[in-house]
Structure 1
């Protein structure tokens, strides 16, 4: 097969590309595509090609309305689609997202039989096969896997269909491991709109992932509503369809082509089926309109030979969304870890004979899956929707915390902790041995406890630090929070320690490694030096590699003007949605308030800057605001 690589975005005349600072450089070549309509492929009609007209509705999980608000708006559209399917034998319709379909069948159970019948007949296409149309760039991989598990399981068990059409029409960019993930999940196609580097991409090709996996890809150059909203009179209707059909010239890889008809939470157009019949009867019609679902067109493309192979990713797009409402990204990451721990503890508890509660696990995952929807994960929503989104996260966290506590209690009850002092068991939820900091709160009821000693399972003393202590009037410990280094805790296993009460305070005068007089601290891995007057980190020496990591001061605070909360203005092709210029690494948008950047190195001599206290405004010596290249941004509350 001919092989093509995606060319880098933003390659315009006179633009100088700045080399990326990565260990591996990927060189992309330019795609050169024909501009004339391609001749019919074998199996396609040469006399009168077919437009595969795909009515659908793109349900918005929550952006300007809450989840429930969009359900109230969108569920009647499914009723309208079923009415058209019952009225017109040749009509077909496409639905996505379990979070849209499931509430419909729960609220209109009388329609379930017809719903399932139309699916079995191939007239109601179910695509996506996930709870929502997710963001597949910013959230973690485990969350993507749960989208597939939750959505596909529902579609198989409730609807009797294994969804194989990957449906990412509105998702903000796509990373290059998607072909592999989709293939492993049983998908046979990838439909998308956003993230392409230029307008010359073919609409049908094979997308090759970083591992070499290929998946048939269907790009929609006119977006997913190209054929939505035609005029209601036949002459204007025919002109509308001819113009849009011809607009796909130069993209379509055969005489036949697909055209989607649907926009966000759009109502199916009941006046269109009769007009399609009239259009097809016209002798001068240059093509036939066939109402279809995505699989119909996929079967046509599968018969073609010599599909182009394109590798790389479809990014970047709307880069401001990487930091918009950053708290939501933090919620997602934290809950992904909590729910994974709950799953692992549940599996171990089940192995030990505790009855599982799979329903509760999925109940905890579902709000997180909904909040993984591309708009929500990107932080592009109103304040009302933001608050509703946070409430969903809070609900999931309560369930996750409860599962972790109950499952761990059931496991810990089977561990022999008999012996002197307070037993402490450290569990490692990872799949490999781990040495890490552990923190725990313990209490003493007996009087006269002035300190404690920590020992491991072999009776060896382990270094421990008292973070906080509540004491009686006589100075004895009541409650204390300690921190210590738990070494070599087995994978999916535990290590036991004991906190032994002491009547006499232990000698904790041993200083940390380093040279405190010269503001240096160190351990077996690193040696770090500071300027205490400014807070700068002046040195970071890696002992394992014997190299100094910093070329200049780090942890230097700079300030720049905040450009607002939401992503950049939409553009159909985000080959160029980022701000113009040869180097955009320092451009960012963020939440209202103060935007801070922490420089990884020193600015150039031409524009040095000073550090500042939290309330000072930084003024570079040159008199203009400057942020060093290569810095990383974070939001300050």
Structure 2
């Protein structure tokens, strides 16, 4: 059986900004609605809660038409996430929030619980994801990206993916792309090739094909529907061709799953292509991680604030922060494959987001400082520990002097112990009356062109010119940990070399044309050239 499902993979940003993507969504959705209204048997799938939110706000009439098509079962909502996010860069909490806010939106607006995770173009999947999918109510994950492997043809198209905790989810890995062209399916007889491929590999006789124009939108057209009718005529009589949703396709596989069993894949689903994306556009990645950290701190602080003051916080504030962050975790943004304009857009948005979150943290810390310190005329310092473990916090005498304390400036420290997820108010008078301590006898000094950092445990020596760590010595063990070149800065010459193609795709795009997204160390004819940075600026 051939199951056909219309689809348009739309990038939140890639070679264009989000403002252009809004227009792409509007035009694509209008075109798809027109096709569905003309052809009642055609079915279409669309992910990304963000896109629906845009349409709801700016095209309410179109939104209501889509809502009716969803109710009729002809427009399938897939993904269940805020965007089609990267899975390797975001934290576990961010991955959970993608489903929390995405599925909540779809439940509130359409009264549906999305069961299909939709990752057609995401660059690999961590071993922790099956647990998150399972606990989010997902039954099926659909992707095509592992077809892009450049070394090993991925062995299965239908399998059970098992996570590190034992959770599992069914994965369907399409034979074709996320935007197959029905005309090519007819003219090149690709359907026969696809079916033979599935039968040889796993004895499968049912196939799901996603058709439509994607990346910059486009969706499905009346011409595609006409080509599919021609496809039906040309195929063998014993091979049925139907439009179906992804969940309907899963139902067609129930017999295979129950009777034959499926192969089980453990651990990470690693993509053997675009390896360079995880070291490109590093500033975006750094800002995402900072925003994740500060947002986590803010939420913990607001919970502590509630426990102390019994005052609820403004949920919309947190949600809006998360919506901004989750949008920036779209796979082309987080992984580092943006062009210049959208890169600048998201860099600015993330920088502003961090300023906003930090401003909220400072606001609520000041509020709590005033609340906890309202016990007379004393001044207080308030410390918050957002970690899941107790910490020892050292505040320098220079810091204390900035608060007007009369202490000697001799690099001493005041030592404070703060419990896990704890808030501690300490009066300045109490700090001033404590005996200054010198921490762990920390010293930083220069000697013979070297910068030396040491305490009672370790001595670390850095070459002042090159920045190279030339010595790391344990005083307790009387052991030198470094020898030879030590810890240093090196540059690797990674210029593009034509050489690799995806082994699982029927077309063969070369690695050379993705030079910012690839690494070429495996195909340098003369070996990898390395240059040590002896005088970094």
The alignment's TM-score, normalised by the length of structure 1, stands at 0.70
For 1:412, the equivalent position in structure 2 comes to 369
Aligned partner of residue 369 in structure 1, secondary structure: helix
Point out the more displaced range, 64-73 or 302-311: 302-311
The answer to whether the 8 Å contact 1:133/1:168 transfers is: yes
RMSD: 3.9
Secondary structure of the corresponding residue to residue 394 of structure 1: helix
- Asked whether the equivalents of residues 59 and 100 of structure 1 are also in contact (C-alpha less than 8 Å), the reply is no
1:190: Cα distance to partner? 1.3
Distance 1:349 1:292 in 2: 50
User: Aligned match of 2:382 in 425, 440, 443?
Assistant: 425
For the 8 Å contact 1:452–1:502, the answer to whether it is kept is no
1:191 Cα deviation from its structure 2 partner? 1.1
The answer to whether the Cα contact below 8 Å between 2:415 and 2:439 also exists between their aligned partners in 1 is no
Which residue is 2:458 aligned to?
A: 526
1:494 equivalent among 423, 446, 453:
423
Identify which of 279, 296, 305 aligns with 2:248: 296
Match of 1:626 in 2: none
Q: Which runs of 5+ in 2 are unaligned?
A: 512-517
How far 1:334 sits from its partner (Å)?
Answer: 0.6
Task: Tell me which residue corresponds to 1:78.
Answer: 29
Residues 368, 535 of structure 1: CA spacing in aligned structure 2 closer, same or farther, 3 A cutoff?
Answer: closer
1:136 aligns with 2:71: no
Change (3 A) 1:207 1:494: same
| Structure 1 equivalent of residue 514 of structure 2 | none
Q: Does residue 1:380 correspond to 2:337, yes or no? A: yes
Deviation track 1:328-363 (CA, whole Å, cap 9, x = no partner) reads 011001111111111122223334233321111111
Aligned equivalents of 2:243 and 2:159: distance in 1?
23
* Kept in 2: contact 1:364–1:397 (CA 8 A): no
Correspondence for 2:481: 549
Residue number in structure 2 paired with 1:63: 14
The aligned length equals 508
CA contact (8 A) 2:394 2:439 kept: no
Change (3 A) 1:240 1:222: closer
CA deviation string 1:242-296 (max 9, x = no partner): 4554454434542111111133213212233355456546795452211111111
Is contact 2:468-2:488 (8 Å) kept? yes
* Structure 1 Cα separation of the partners of residues 400 and 414 of structure 2: 16
- Contact (CA 8 Å) 1:328, 1:377: kept in 2 or not? yes
> Cα–Cα, structure 1 residues 563 and 499, in superposed 2: closer, same or farther, change >3 Å?
farther
Q: Give the strand-richer structure, 1 or 2.
A: 1
Q: What are the Cα deviations for residues 136-180 of structure 1, in whole angstroms up to 9, with x where unaligned?
A: 112222221221111111111112111110111100111122112
Residue 218 of structure 1: CA displacement?
0.7
The 5 A counterparts of 1:165-564 are 165-195=116-146, 198-199=152-153, 201-226=155-180, 228-230=181-183, 236=186, 239=189, 241-251=191-201, 253-262=203-212, 263-264=214-215, 265-277=217-229, 279-280=231-232, 284-304=236-256, 305=259, 306-316=261-271, 317-351=273-307, 352-416=309-373, 418=375, 422-437=379-394, 452-453=406-407, 465=411, 484=413, 486-499=415-428, 512=441, 521-530=453-462, 535-542=467-474, 548-561=480-493, 563=495
Task: Tell me if structure 2 keeps the 8 A contact 1:200–1:251.
Answer: no
Residue by residue over 1:446-495, the C-alpha shift from the partner in whole angstroms, topping out at 9 and shown as x without a partner, is xxx7x6339xxxxxxxx9849xxxxxxxxxxxxxxxxx565431111123
CA displacement at 1:54 relative to structure 2: 1.2
Do 1:230 and 1:240's aligned partners in 2 also have CA atoms closer than 8 Å? no
Q: 1:536 to 1:399 in 2, by over 3 A?
A: closer
User: Is the 8 Å Cα contact of residues 537 and 555 (structure 1) preserved in structure 2?
Assistant: yes
In 2: Cα distance, 1:394 partner to 1:75 partner: 28
Aligned counterparts of 1:521 and 1:420: Cα–Cα separation in 2: 41
- 1:579 match: 520
SS of equivalent residue, structure 2 residue 103: helix
Structure number, greater radius of gyration:
1
Q: Which has the higher helix share?
A: 2
Q: Shift of residue 510 of structure 1?
A: 10
3-state SS of 2:303 partner: helix
Structure 1 residues 501 and 562, CA gap change in structure 2 (3 angstroms)? farther
Q: Following the alignment from structure 2 to structure 1, what is the Cα–Cα distance between the partners of residues 161 and 436?
A: 64
